[in-house]
Structure 1
């Protein structure tokens, strides 16, 4: 709930757009479908079991229609404890262009490599989209969804929200740089060195 409000405060989501989830042992807590962040209450969060792929949930409201990729990310990535899906302006703009974000700034290392990839398009809430997302996040902590938005992950919600902010900032810098000319892209070896340094970088408890 607090994470959804923070995304709205930062302008990374609005109204009922986007969704968040948290791992809770063998279960996942997913924000409900169609509820604006300001109207969310803790008891409205849907609880889903990782072992169950039927869409079954506990709670008064159904989970986000994107529940499938949330569960599949946790299954594929034991290191992930939180997932944030957003429709932020610059990340979504690049997604409509179907462009990955290159290493225009060293902060790209926060996502695990020299690019933030853009996966192909598939209808929201489908197994096809979930498969594209899981593959895109196989060795990254952020991905753009063609003609849709973006997803970031983290070991906890605090770091996932930090990555959400950094992803939108990178998207904005790349977009504006491309308008001004041809941004200089940092070499891969420099980014891989920075990835190693970033293992202890970012917000701490």
Structure 2
């Protein structure tokens, strides 16, 4: 897997990803944040800057093993982005957002069970729920990294959702699929309980998903 270089085009692709999340209704305002692995560190969106006014030079570079450098502040959630990319060398991008249906489940403190075979896109038999911790803190970073040690997505109690991707494109694909799964789960309870797929059925889907979805490297 090729690690993309820190270029103006890659920085612009991060901004474009943020704008896409808002345009698709997956995120609102500046609530989300995006990071991409580069040699010797990561690029991450800055804190509190509207995506429409963000420019490539505002994207923050920081290492994966140290606090941010002095200068433009990275997203307040930089700790779990850093922790995830350091722990998962197989992943190139992290996307965090507050998708409406995912956020409803997060407020209800419900993981997403095997309501659909697309659950396999997230690397396991469900999409786990991370316990509540204050945003931007070490505890949240520790909990998110633990939940996603072998997964590609999670919900965060009373917060939102986070996904990993082998590329930025694939991370965005997973975030949209996660919001669709959350909506399906919520709506499937109307008029009765949803029928869940069993472990053997999800195991079969996990094998099939090894070569599923967009694979273009960003850079």
Taking the TM superposition and a 5 Å limit, the aligned residue runs for 1:174-193 are 174-193=185-204
Q: Partner residue of 1:84?
A: 95
Q: Partner residue of 1:139?
A: 150
Unpaired runs of at least 5, structure 2: 1-14
Q: 2:55 aligns with which of 30, 33, 41?
A: 41
Taking the TM superposition and a 5 Å limit, the aligned residue runs for 1:1-205 are 1-52=15-66, 54-56=67-69, 61-205=72-216
- The separation in 1 between residues aligned to 2:109 and 2:193, in whole angstroms, is 18
TM-superposed CA distance for 1:37, in Å, is 1.8
- Does structure 1 conserve the Cα–Cα contact (< 8 Å) formed by 2:167 and 2:215? no
- Does structure 1 conserve the Cα–Cα contact (< 8 Å) formed by 2:166 and 2:215? no
- The separation in 1 between residues aligned to 2:135 and 2:148, in whole angstroms, is 17
TM-superposed CA distance for 1:204, in Å, is 3.1
- The separation in 2 between residues aligned to 1:69 and 1:18, in whole angstroms, is 13
Q: Secondary structure at the match of 2:189?
A: helix
Q: Secondary structure at the match of 2:62?
A: strand
TM-superposed CA distance for 1:18, in Å, is 1.0
- The separation in 1 between residues aligned to 2:215 and 2:107, in whole angstroms, is 33
Q: TM-score, length-normalised on structure 2?
A: 0.90
* Structure 1 runs of 4+ with >3 Å offset: none
Q: Secondary structure at the match of 2:194?
A: coil
Q: TM-score, length-normalised on structure 1?
A: 0.96
Unpaired runs of at least 5, structure 1: none
